[in-house]
Amino acid sequence: MSRNRAFLTGLLTATTMFGGCAFKKATPGEITGSGGTQGDTDAGDMDIMGGAGTDINLPPPVDATQFEAEASQNCIEANPQTMNLPPDVLILLDRSGSMAQAVDGSTCAITGAGGRGGRPPAMGDCGPTSKWTLMTTALVDFVQTVSTPVNWGLMFFGSGNTTNCDISMTANVPPGPTTASMIASAIAGTSPATSTPTTAAETAAAAYLSKLNDGNPKFILLATDGIPTCGKEACVQGGTAQCDDANAIAAVQTAHDTMMIPTFVLGIGSDLGGGEATLTSMATVGGFPRANATPAYYPITSAADLQAAFATISGMVGGCFFSVKPVPSSATDITAVLGDGNPIPQDGTDGWTFVTMGGASGVQLNGKSCDDYKNKVIKDVVVQLPCIIP
């Protein structure tokens, strides 16, 4: 607690020693030396008689007429606004042509007139057994049933209907609390057809989220089936595809380090076209690699894998973030976090941590503390900042 100093002019004497410090001018008869005789007001040390006849030692005067006294002050507890906010999670979904392949990367020969949305089937499109169908069906099922408070949004990449590297600068479905039906409709009207502009897509997604001034923490969930194919250098594997691995990794790191927007990475399919190392690096620099697991990204080869990954990610980001206003500059500015009046420890495993993500700063409850809040064992969370001296 900070201390308040009062500078008093003239000769003062203390009249009370509790409930704060009050002072009045001393009379000559009240001023004594250490032996009880009248003292010299120009002396370096002086004693002043207290109300109970006790000598009070005071420091030497600053000059002949001024000295400094300590004054205790009451402290007002500072409880800033603490609000539980749902996160904005933008699903950045790869719709490259390879997403039409089977989970193992093989192509399928489909005959007949029944393509998606009445369109003719593409050569090699595996239809109901493709990575695209696996991913989108499980995704739609999940967002329609999940109870964790998350504002889900959706952005496809690329954005054209041919093999190109175009991307959209805005979300196909903006993050919101009731977007399940909009996500299902957007997916129903889309099919895999483009290249894989991962770098441009990650950059656009981070820029889009940074402009959402809703105060919610923000995340990107990147779901892709392999290496970026919109670079300027030929892939190591050969062929005509172009690779952009280093730039894609850098884009994810910039989103995390500079814009404070973490990225979760999902690898779709058992054959990622040699992109395992790239996805591992993106998951690591994105800030949320899988805990104590290899690979660092979430490998998705079945609907069950995807449902489990989404459930894990939802539990990590949803429901346990509390924005704090005024915003503390760091965790050292927070004196206590209380749950129903009881202290919650500062701990990254089962307590609280101070986080800043995508325009929002506040307290994140972890592990048991988060579970207790979700299960209503803890109903009220209060963040305290240092006391204020009026």
Q: Which of 20, 47, 73 is the last residue of a domain?
A: 73
Distance of CA 117 to the CA centre of its chain: 38
Select, from the ranges 11-25, 38-52, 105-119, the one with the highest average predicted confidence (pLDDT).
Answer: 105-119
CA pair distance 278, 257, nearest whole angstrom: 18
- Whether residues 200 and 270 share a domain: the answer is yes
Sign of CA dihedral 104, 107, 111, 117: positive
Range of the structural domain that residue 194 is part of: 83-317
CA pair distance 176, 171, nearest whole angstrom: 11
- Whether residues 289 and 364 share a domain: the answer is no
> Strands, E, within 167-231: which ranges?
173-176, 218-224
- Whether residues 332 and 382 share a domain: the answer is yes
Q: Does 281 map to a domain?
A: yes
What are the tens digits of pLDDT across the range 175-216?
998 899 999 999 999 999 999 999 999 999 999 999 998 888
Number of domains in the chain: 3
Closest to 129 in 3D by CA, of 111, 106, 110, 102: 102
Q: Does 285 map to a domain?
A: yes
Longest dimension (CA), the chain: 117
Out of 34-43, 46-55, 280-289, least confident range? 34-43
> With contact defined as beta carbons under 8 Å apart, do 377 and 320 qualify?
no
Cut 0.75: pTM above it = no
Query: What is the token pair recorded at 361?
Result: 């700063």
Q: Which of 317, 345, 380 is the last residue of a domain?
A: 317
Q: Is 381 helix (H, G, I), strand (E, B) or coil?
A: strand
What are the tens digits of pLDDT across the range 136-150?
999 999 988 876 788
CATH number for the domain that contains residue 217: 3.40.50.410
**Which residues have a Cβ under 8 Å from the Cβ of 113 and sit 6 or more positions away?**
120
Query: What is the token pair recorded at 108?
Result: 């399928």
- Whether residues 123 and 18 share a domain: the answer is no
- Whether residues 160 and 261 share a domain: the answer is yes
| Composition of the chain by helix, strand, coil, percent to 5 | 25, 30, 45
Q: In the sheet where 55-58 sits, what is the strand order?
A: 31-32, 46-49, 55-58
Backbone torsions φ then ψ of 324, nearest 5 degrees: -125, 125
Q: Which of 285, 317, 349 is the last residue of a domain?
A: 317
Q: Does 64 map to a domain?
A: yes
Size (the chain), residues:
390
